[in-house]
Amino acid sequence: MVPLYYYLIFSALLFSVGLAGALTRRNAILVLIGIELMLNAANLNFIAFWRYSPDPEALTGMMFVIFSIAVAAAEAAVGLALIIAIYRHYRTVDLTKVDSLKG
Amino acid sequence: METLDQIKDRIEAAVPGARLEIIPNDSPANQPSLLIDHEHAVAVAKFLRDDSQLQFDYASNVTGVDWLDAVLKEKVKVKQVVEGVEKEVEEVIEKKRAGYLEAVYHLYSMELKHGPFILRLRTENRTDKVHLPSLTPIWRGAEFQEREIYDLYGIIFDGHPDLRRLLMWEGFVDHPMRKDYVEPDDFEYEPTPHDEVLERAKEHYPAEAKP
Amino acid sequence: MLGEGIIKGMVETAKNFVGSYHDPKRLTTVEYPENKIPAKENARNFPFLVFDGVDADKGLRCVACQICEKECPPKCIYIIKDTVKKPDYMGKMQIQPKIFDIDISVCMSCQICVEVCPFEAIKMDTQFELSTTDRFENLLLNKRELAKPNEYYHKIHPTEATEVDERLAAEKAKAEAKAKADAEAKAKATVAAAAAKAAPTPVPAPAK
Amino acid sequence: MIGEFFKGLFLMIWKVVTDQPDPKVEFVSVFPATIQPIISVLLSIVPIIMVFASLFALTTLLERKGLGRIQNRLGPNRVGPFGLFQPVADGLKMLTKEDIVPHSADKLIHFLAPIVLLVPTLLAYAVLPFGQNMVPIDMDAGILFFFAVGASTELSIFMAGWSSRNKYSLLGAMRAIAQMISYEIPLIISSVTVIMIAGSLSLVEIVDKQSGYHFGFLPHWNVFTPWGLAGFIIFLIASLAESNRSPFDIPEAESEIIAGHLTEYSGFKYALFFLAEYLGMFAVSGLAVTLFLGGWRAPLPFLEIVPSYIWFLLKLMGLVCLFIWIRGTLPRLRVDQLLNFAWKFMLPMSLINLFVAAIWHFTSVWNFRGAGLGRWLLCAAMIAVPYVWLGRTLIGNKKITHRTYRFAN
Amino acid sequence: MISDAPGQMGMTSESASQVPLPEGAGQSNYTVIPKTSAEGTSEGELLEVAMGPQHPSTHGVFRMDVVLDGEHVVKLKPVFGYLHRNHEQIAESTTYLGSMPYTDRLDYLCSMTNNWAYALSVEKLAGLQPPERAEYIRIITAELTRLVNHTCLVGFLLQDMGALGTPLMYAFRERELILDLFEALSGSRMMYNYMRFGGCRVDLSADWIEQAKQVVDGYSRFLDEFEKLLTENEILVSRTQGVGVLTVKLAINASITGPMLRASGVNYDIRKVDKYGIYDRFDFRIPLGDHGDVYDRYMIRVLEMRESVKILNQALRDIPAGPIMDPKAKIRGFRPKAGEAYGRIEGPKGELGFYLISDGSPNPYRYRVRPPSLINLTVLEDMCLGETVADVVIILGSVDIVLGEVDR
Amino acid sequence: MGITFAIIAALTLVSAIAAMSLRNLVHCALSLAVTFAGIAAMYLQLDAQFVGFAQILVYIGAVAILIVFAILLTRSSETPQPVISRSWIMGIVIALAVFGVLTKVILSSSIAQRELPAKPAPTVRQIGDQLMTRYVLPLEAIGLLLTAATIGAVIIAMHDKKGRGDGGQNVNSTPSRAEAHQHADETHNLIT
C-alpha cells in the first residue's frame, strides 16, 4: 500500500517544478502554466489528506478540490484574457518587456 | 444617339484642344470609331461618361490591336496626259505606315441604353513609346482588360491602379498577342507527331529531341 | 426562421430517396460497361475515311486534296499525296493519299473536316472506347486504321449516309451523262470526221 | 476442460441471446483464477470494438448508398453483392496507401493525434449500457465520465491541425475547437435535465427510470415529455456539431478549407481519424438513445421478447440514418452563425428546458383531474413560446426577410 | 510569401531574365511592374492564404491570394492565367470557321451561346442574315443553354455552401435531359460547334421539337422541386442574404453584366436592349433584385430560368419551316471585306462579345473575346472585403465563372 | 498498487518538467495536458472518481484548450535567453529550497505515516447533497465568481471592433483603388 507521504512528496515535487517554471520562464503563458501546476499540486494534497483522513466520509477535502477546480478555471480564463489583452497592447507576452504602467 | 460627327463636335466644344479623328469602318457592321489623343483622353472619357445626353457609363469591351509597319497601297486618281489627251488615271501610291499599338474601347450606356460608341487610342510606335493614359479611373470595368492589354500587347497604361500581368506569369518577357510574336521552341513530346513546333525544336535542340 | 424551410427540404430529399427506388426515370446514370446508352444518330466522335467496295486501298474516296488538312483547327490531320494516279471507286484516275494520319489525341471532334470535304470522303465515327496504354503511337491513326467501309457508315448514321449516297449517285449519274454526252459528241465528231474520211473507227467505250 | 470451455461459451452466448443477467460468469469461471479478471475485461472490450468497428463499416456503406439514393444515384454497387464489400475495399485501400507526412510537420504530434483521438472515443463506450445487463462498467458518475473523455478529443484535433503546419489545417482546428467548446455546453445542459429527473448520473439507472408504459403502450421514454423532446432535439443538434457532421461540418468544410485538420493526413492515419469520428458519432447517438429514447428498452410491451441490445442498435442506427439524411439535404452554416446559434439559441433554449424540466418535476405532485394533460400543455407552451421568440430574433440586426422581386418588361 | 509562377508554358520565372527573346519578338524594354506587396503581412495576426489553384471550390485552376484577419478577409487578389492558352492568338492564325469549335471551349457549360455570339459578330462583319427558322433554333438552343448554366450554377453554389452535392446532382439530372437534346441535334454533348455564319449546321426534326417540349414542361416542375429544397432553407437564407453586396454604382462602373448586374437592380438585358436575333417577338420579363447580395443572385437566376421556360414554350410553338442557312454564306473560302465589327449577346453569364477586325484575308486580323466571367471578377475583392472565408467561396460561386473563359 | 503509483508519478513529473522547460510553447501546453491527465489518474488512485473526472473535464477539456488558444492568438515564442542566467539560477534555487523545506516537514510529520483507512464510497448523490446543504454558500459564491470571471474575461479579451474594422479597410485599399471607388461613386443616378 502506498503511504501518504509518497503522495505528499510527489505533490511537493510537482509544486517545486511549477514554482521553478514560474520563476524562470519569461513568457506570461508559461508562468500561468507554472501557477496551474502549483494549484494542482495543492489539490492533490487535499485529496490525499482526505483519503487518508480518519473519516473520509466527511468529503471535506473533496469539496475543497471541487471548489478549487472551479476557481482555477475562472483564474485561467481571466488570466489568459489578460495575457491576450497585454499582447494586443504590447505585441509581446514577454514579461520582462511588459514594464511600463502607462497605457 | 447622336451621330459620331455631332458627338465629335460637342467633345471639341467641351474639351478644348482635343484632337479627334473619325476612323471609318467599311464593313456592313458600320461601326465607325473616334480616335482621341493622349493628353485629353481622360477628359474626353469623363465627358462621355458624364454628359447627360451620352452617359456612356459602361465600358463593355476594351482591347488592344497590334498594327505592324505596313505598306499601304492607295489608289489615287491622277490627271495625266496620256497620248496628248488629259485623262483621269488611277495610280497606286505606296505609303509606308509606321506600326503602332492601339487600344479600343467599346462604350455603351446602361442608363440610356444606347451604344456602341467606339473610342480608340494609339501609341506612337510599337517599341519604346507605348504609353497610353489609363481610363480605369473613369470606368472600373477597364481594370482587368487594360491589364490584359498590358500583358498581351505591352501597352503601358499610365494611371492604372494595379498594372500587372494578368494572364502570363510575372517574369514572362514577351507579349504573346503581338503579331510578330514567335512561339518559344520549348516543347514537351505532347503534340501531334507532325507538329511544326516539334520539328523546329528538334532542329534547334537535337540533343534533347530523343523521344 | 423556425426550421420550416429545413423540414421542407428534407421532405424533398426523402421523396427523391423513395422515388429513386420505384421511379427509374429519376436515375439518370447507367452502369457503364454492362449498359450503354445507345448513341444518337448525329453523334460524332473522331473522323474516319469512307471507302466503297471491299478494298480499302482501292475504294478510298479521299483524293488527297488536303482541304481538310488546311481547315482543321487543331491541325491534327497530316496528308502526303501519292505521286501516281490510281483508279478510284468510280474508275476515274485520282491521286490518293500516300499517308493520311489523324492524331486523335489532338483532334477535337469539331466535324469541320467533314463539312469542308467536297468528296464525302471523311465522316465522323461514334466509337469512343479508344483508351490505350500508349498515348502517342496508339492514338495516331493511319490510313489503314481510319478506313472504314460505306456499310459501316450506313450502320452508324443511316439517314445521313443514305442522303450522301443519293447525292453521290446523282453526281455520278450527272458525270456519266456528261461523259456520255461528251463521248457522243466526240463520237459524232469522230464519225463526222470519219465520214469525211470515210473510214469509221470504233467508238471508245466511256469509262465503265 | 475443453468440454467445460465450450459449455461455458455456450451458456454465455445463450444468456446473451436471451438477455439474462451476468452472462460472463460461467465462461470466465472456466479459466484459472489469476487470469479471470483479464478474461472478463477482454470479454467486455472485444465485442465493443468488433461490433462498433463493423457498424462503422456498415455505416460508411449505408451513408454512401443512402446519399446516392437521395441524389438519384445508385451508390457503390461493384464490390460484392450490392456493394456490400465496399468498406473492405476501402479499408484495404486506406491501409495500403502511402502515409505522407509533410516535411515541416511536427512529426511526433502528427503521429500521435489520431491515436489520442481514437482512445478517448473508445473509452466513452465503457459506460454505455448496450442492453439489459450489458454495460462494461456501471459507474456512479457515468455521464460525467462520458463527457470528460469526450472533452479530451478536442485537444487531439488541435494536435492534428497544428502539427500539420498547414494554414487550412490550423484554421480547421481552430474552428473545430471553437465549435466543440460551444456545443458542449448545450449538450451537457440538455442531458442535465435527464439527470435531474432521474436523480442519478449512472446511465444504467437512467435507463431503468424509463421503464414501463403509459396506458400500456406509450413507453416512459423521456422523449415523450415536452422537456424531453426539446432536450432530445437540442442534444441531437449539439451532437451533430460535436461529431462534426453536416450541417456543422465546418472544421472539415471541403469547399472552404479543403479538409481542415485532416488535410495533411493520408493512409492509415486518415482512416483512424475517420474511424474515430464515426465511433464518436455512434457514442454520442448511443448516449442520446440512452438518455431520451429509453436505452435498450423495447418501444412496445409485446416486443420485449426481442433481445434488448437489438433495440439499442436499432435506435442507434435510426439516429445515424437521420444524420445521413440531414447530411444529404442541408448546406453548411458559417462559423459565426454556428457560434451565434450555439450561444444565442441553443444555450438559452437548453437553460429554459432545464427550468421546464424542474417545473415538470415539481408538478408531478399534481393530482387533480386532467393534471397530466395540463402539466404537459403547460410545459409544452413554456418551451414553444421562447422557441418561436428566439427563432424570430435569432438573426438579430441582420435583416433576413422574405423577398419579392421586381420584373422589367 | 506565396509562390507565383504558374509556369504553364516553357519559361520558368526565375530564369526569365536570362532567356533570350525569341527571334523577331517585340523588343521589350518595359519593366515588369512588381506585384503590389501585400501590406500588413508582417502584422502578427494576419494570415495569408493562397486559395487555389488546387482548391476544391475555385471552379477550376484559379487562385485568390487572401489575407485573413482571423476568418475575415482584409485583402484579396485574384490570380489568373493557369488555363491561359492564348485563344485569341490561335483564332487569329486560323480561319473564321476554324475558331468556331474553339469558342465551344471558352465557357464549356454554354457552348451554344458562345457559338451564337461568334456567329453574330461574323454575320455583322460580313453582312449575313440568318433565315427565320435558324433564328428560332438559335433562340431555343440559347435558352436551353441558359437553363443548363443557371441550374448548374445553383448546384455549384450549393456545393460551395457545403450541401454535399444533392442540389448539384438534381441540377445534373435535369441537365442530362437537355444535353440529350443537344446531342441529338449537334452530335456532341458539350462541344456543339453548331452555329454557322448565316445559320445553323443541321436542321431540327419534328421529333426533336416534341422531345424538347416535354423537357421544357418537366423543367418547371423541376424548378418547383428545386425551390422547395432550397429557396426557403434557413441555412441558405442566412448564409446568403446580406453577403457579398454589390452596389449599383460599382456594378455599372465595373462593367458587370448578366444576372449579377440585374441582382443589383440594374435593368439591362441585351436581349431587350439590342433585340438581337428575334428576341423582340417573345414575351418575357427581366427579374431584378434590390439588394445585390448572393441570395439575390441566386434568386435572379431561378427567376430567369422560369422566364426562359416561357420563351422556350413560345419558340417551340411558333417555329416556322424554312431554310436554315443564308444562301450567301459560304463554308469554304470565307473572306469578309476589310473592316471591323463588335457583336454581343446576353450570355447566361453576362455580356459575351466578339470584336473582329478583318483585313480581307481568310483569317481574322484581330479576334477578341469579351469574357463576362473575367470582367465580373473585377469586383470580387470589393465584394469579399470584410466577409469570412466561407463567404468568399460562395461569393465566388455566385459570380459564376468558368475558367476556360476567364483565362482563355 | 505501488507500481501503478510509480508509473503515474513518473509520467506526471516528466511531463510537468517538460511543460516548464520545452522551447515550443504548444509542446509545453500539450505536456501540461498530460500532466493534468496524470493528476486525474492520481485522484482515481485515491478513490476520488468524481474529482478525477471533473479534473479531466475542466483541465483538459477547458484549461488546456484555453492555453493553446492563447498561445496561438499571441503567436508568442520565447526569445532565446542564456540557459544559465541569474534569474534562472535564482528560480531553481528557490524551488529547490521550497522542495527541501516541504520534504523535511512532510517526513518529520506524524500524519504522513498515517495508515490507509477503509475505502470510502462517496457517491455522486452524497456529493450533491453536501453541495446543496453544507456547502451551499461556497457553491453560490463559486457560481457568482464563475459568472463574473466569464464576463470579465470576455470584456478584457474583446476586440475593439470598430477600430479594427477601419484598420482592415485601410490595409487593403490602395489609394488608386480608393480613387476608382470614388469615381464609381461619382457616377450619376441609375436606372433601376
State how far the Cα of E182 lies from the Cα of E184, in Å rounded to an integer. Answer: 5
E216 contacts E174 by C-beta, under 8 angstroms: no
Q: Chain A residues with CB inside 8 Å of F137's CB? A: none
Range C105-122 average pLDDT: 85
Q: Is the pLDDT of residue C94 over 70?
A: yes
- Measured in angstroms, the CA of B67 and the nearest CA of chain E are apart by 9
Q: How many domains is chain F partitioned into structurally?
A: 1
Q: Chain E residues with CB inside 8 Å of C43's CB? A: 183, 187-188
Q: Residue F142 belongs to what domain range?
A: 123-192
Q: Is the pLDDT of residue C140 over 60?
A: yes
Query: How big is the B-E interface in CB pairs under 8 Å?
Result: 190
A 10 A CB-CB count for A67 gives 17
E42 touches chain F (CB under 8 A): no
Q: Is the pLDDT of residue C84 over 60?
A: yes
E152 contacts E172 by C-beta, under 8 angstroms: yes
E240 contacts E295 by C-beta, under 8 angstroms: yes
Q: Chain D residues with CB inside 8 Å of F151's CB? A: none
Chains F and D touch (3+ CB pairs under 8 A): yes
C113 versus C83: which is more confidently predicted? C113
State how far the Cα of E27 lies from the Cα of E18, in Å rounded to an integer. Answer: 15
Contact at CB, F124 and D181, closer than 8 angstroms: no
High-pLDDT (> 70) share of chain D, %: 98
Peptide bond into D247 cis (omega under 30): yes
Q: Is the pLDDT of residue E257 over 60?
A: yes
Give residue-wise pLDDT tens across range D324-380.
Answer: 888 888 888 888 888 888 888 888 888 888 888 888 888 877 777 777 777 888 888
Q: How many domains is chain A partitioned into structurally?
A: 1
Does the residue F182 lie in any domain? yes
Give residue-wise pLDDT tens across range F48-92.
Answer: 888 888 888 888 888 888 888 888 777 655 555 555 567 778 888
Nearest chain B residue to F188 by CA distance is: B50
State how far the Cα of F125 lies from the Cα of D44, in Å rounded to an integer. Answer: 27
Instruction: Name, in order, each residue with C-beta under 8 angstroms of E131's C-beta and a sequence gap of 6 or more.
Output: E199, E322, E323, E324, E325, E326
DSSP conformation class of B52: T
Among D230, D393, D90, D252, CA closest to E164: D252
Question: Which pLDDT does position F35 carry in this prediction?
Answer: 92
State how far the Cα of A81 lies from the Cα of A89, in Å rounded to an integer. Answer: 12
Q: Chain B residues with CB inside 8 Å of F187's CB? A: 49, 57
State how far the Cα of D360 lies from the Cα of F74, in Å rounded to an integer. Answer: 47
A32 contacts A78 by C-beta, under 8 angstroms: no
Question: Which pLDDT does position E27 carry in this prediction?
Answer: 30
State how far the Cα of F94 lies from the Cα of F108, in Å rounded to an integer. Answer: 21
Residue with cell 495569408: E48
Question: Which pLDDT does position F149 carry in this prediction?
Answer: 86
Question: Which pLDDT does position A24 carry in this prediction?
Answer: 83
- List residues in chain C touching D: CB distance below 8 A: 1-3, 6, 9-10, 12-14, 16-17, 19-21, 26-29, 31
Lowest-confidence pick of C93-97, D390-394, F79-83: F79-83
E119 contacts E356 by C-beta, under 8 angstroms: no
Range E251-272 average pLDDT: 88
Does the residue A103 lie in any domain? no
Contact at CB, F20 and A52, closer than 8 angstroms: no
Does the residue F68 lie in any domain? no
Q: Is the pLDDT of residue F172 over 50?
A: no
Determine the 3-state secondary structure of E83 from DSSP.
coil
Nearest chain E residue to C15 by CA distance is: E225
Task: State the cell numbers at C6.
Answer: 429545413
Lowest-confidence pick of D30-44, D255-269, D277-291, F114-128: F114-128
Instruction: Name, in order, each residue with C-beta under 8 angstroms of D67's C-beta and a sequence gap of 6 or more.
Output: D75, D324, D327, D328, E164, E166
B211 versus C189: which is more confidently predicted? C189
**Helices marked H in D130-266 — which ranges?**
142-151, 153-163, 167-198, 203-209, 226-242, 254-257
Question: Which pLDDT does position E15 carry in this prediction?
Answer: 33
Q: Chain C residues with CB inside 8 Å of B187's CB? A: none
Task: State the cell numbers at D329.
Answer: 439535404
Question: Which pLDDT does position D205 carry in this prediction?
Answer: 83
Query: How big is the B-C interface in CB pairs under 8 Å?
Result: 19
From the number of C-beta atoms within 10 Å of its C-beta (0-12, 13-18, 19+), residue E315 rates as buried
Assign residue A20 the CATH number of its domain. 1.10.287.3510
Nearest chain C residue to D401 by CA distance is: C1
State how far the Cα of C98 lies from the Cα of E402, in Å rounded to an integer. Answer: 43
Residue spans of the domains in chain D: they are 2-46, 97-395
pLDDT-derived band at E2 (thresholds 50, 70, 90) equals very low
Chains touching D (3+ CB pairs < 8 Å):
C, E, F
Q: Is the pLDDT of residue E4 over 70?
A: no
Contact at CB, C13 and E186, closer than 8 angstroms: no
Helix%, strand%, coil% for chain C, nearest 5: 40, 15, 40
Among B62, E32, F56, CA closest to A40: F56
D155 touches chain F (CB under 8 A): yes
Does the residue F136 lie in any domain? yes
State how far the Cα of D254 lies from the Cα of E56, in Å rounded to an integer. Answer: 7
High-pLDDT (> 90) share of chain D, %: 1
- Measured in angstroms, the CA of F60 and the nearest CA of chain D are apart by 6
Question: Which pLDDT does position D387 carry in this prediction?
Answer: 83
Range C161-190 average pLDDT: 82
pLDDT-derived band at E6 (thresholds 50, 70, 90) equals very low
A 10 A CB-CB count for B128 gives 12
How many Cα atoms sit within 13 Å of E182 on the Cβ side? Answer: 28
Does the residue F145 lie in any domain? yes
Q: Chain B residues with CB inside 8 Å of C76's CB? A: 192
Q: Chain E residues with CB inside 8 Å of F190's CB? A: 248-249, 252, 265-266
Nearest chain E residue to F186 by CA distance is: E249
A 10 A CB-CB count for E55 gives 23
Q: Is the pLDDT of residue E21 over 60?
A: no
- Measured in angstroms, the CA of C8 and the nearest CA of chain D are apart by 10
E384 touches chain F (CB under 8 A): no
pLDDT-derived band at C1 (thresholds 50, 70, 90) equals low
From the number of C-beta atoms within 10 Å of its C-beta (0-12, 13-18, 19+), residue C73 rates as buried
Q: Is the pLDDT of residue B150 over 50?
A: yes
Does the residue F46 lie in any domain? no
Helix axes F25-45, F2-21, angle to 10 degrees: 160
E 154-183 residues with CB below 8 A of C? 166, 170, 172-173, 176, 180, 183
Q: Is the pLDDT of residue E173 over 70?
A: yes
Range D165-170 average pLDDT: 82
Give residue-wise pLDDT tens across range E306-352.
Answer: 999 989 999 888 888 888 888 887 777 788 888 888 888 988 988 88
E250 contacts E379 by C-beta, under 8 angstroms: yes
Task: State the cell numbers at F156.
Answer: 478584457
From the number of C-beta atoms within 10 Å of its C-beta (0-12, 13-18, 19+), residue B179 rates as middle
Nearest chain C residue to D77 by CA distance is: C31
Task: State the cell numbers at E1.
Answer: 510569401
Residues in chain B, total: 211
Nearest chain C residue to E230 by CA distance is: C9
Mean pLDDT of chain C: 80
Chains touching C (3+ CB pairs < 8 Å):
B, D, E
How many Cα atoms sit within 13 Å of E29 on the Cβ side? Answer: 4
Q: Residue A75 belongs to what domain range?
A: 4-97
Nearest chain E residue to D249 by CA distance is: E162
Contact at CB, C71 and E99, closer than 8 angstroms: no
E44 contacts E383 by C-beta, under 8 angstroms: no
- Measured in angstroms, the CA of F150 and the nearest CA of chain D are apart by 14
What residues are paired with B97 via a beta bridge? Answer: B70
State how far the Cα of D245 lies from the Cα of D330, in Å rounded to an integer. Answer: 11
Range E195-219 average pLDDT: 88
Query: How big is the D-F interface in CB pairs under 8 Å?
Result: 63
Instruction: Name, in order, each residue with C-beta under 8 angstroms of E142's C-beta and a sequence gap of 6 or more.
Output: E112, E113, E116, E277, E345
Q: How many helices (H) and strands (E) does chain C have?
A: 7, 6
pLDDT-derived band at C91 (thresholds 50, 70, 90) equals low
Peptide bond into B206 cis (omega under 30): no
Question: Which pLDDT does position D47 carry in this prediction?
Answer: 81
Test the D interface: residue of F24, F27, F30 with most D CBs within 10 Å: F30
Q: Chain E residues with CB inside 8 Å of D250's CB? A: 390
Contact at CB, F187 and E69, closer than 8 angstroms: no
Instruction: Name, in order, each residue with C-beta under 8 angstroms of F52's C-beta and a sequence gap of 6 or more.
Output: F40, F41, F43, F44
State how far the Cα of C161 lies from the Cα of B123, in Å rounded to an integer. Answer: 56
Does the residue F107 lie in any domain? no
Give residue-wise pLDDT tens across range D173-211.
Answer: 888 888 888 888 888 888 888 888 888 888 888 888 888
Chains C and F touch (3+ CB pairs under 8 A): no
Q: Chain C residues with CB inside 8 Å of E181's CB? A: none
- Measured in angstroms, the CA of D68 and the nearest CA of chain E are apart by 9
Mean pLDDT of chain D: 83
Contact at CB, A20 and F94, closer than 8 angstroms: yes
- Measured in angstroms, the CA of E264 and the nearest CA of chain F are apart by 9
Question: Which pLDDT does position F80 carry in this prediction?
Answer: 54
Contact at CB, E248 and F172, closer than 8 angstroms: no
Beta strands at C140-141 and C77-87: parallel, antiparallel or unpaired: unpaired
Which pTM was predicted?
0.82
Lowest-confidence pick of B76-90, D1-15, D268-282, F91-105: B76-90
Beta strands at B100-108 and C147-149: parallel, antiparallel or unpaired: unpaired
Contact at CB, D71 and E161, closer than 8 angstroms: no
Question: Which pLDDT does position F180 carry in this prediction?
Answer: 38
Range B17-39 average pLDDT: 82
Give whole-number Cα distances, C208 to C60, C85, C202, D249, in Å: 18, 17, 16, 79
Q: Chain F residues with CB inside 8 Å of E69's CB? A: 164, 168
What residues are paired with B34 via a beta bridge? Answer: B22, B119
Question: Which pLDDT does position D1 carry in this prediction?
Answer: 67
A 10 A CB-CB count for E18 gives 8
Determine the 3-state secondary structure of E348 from DSSP.
coil
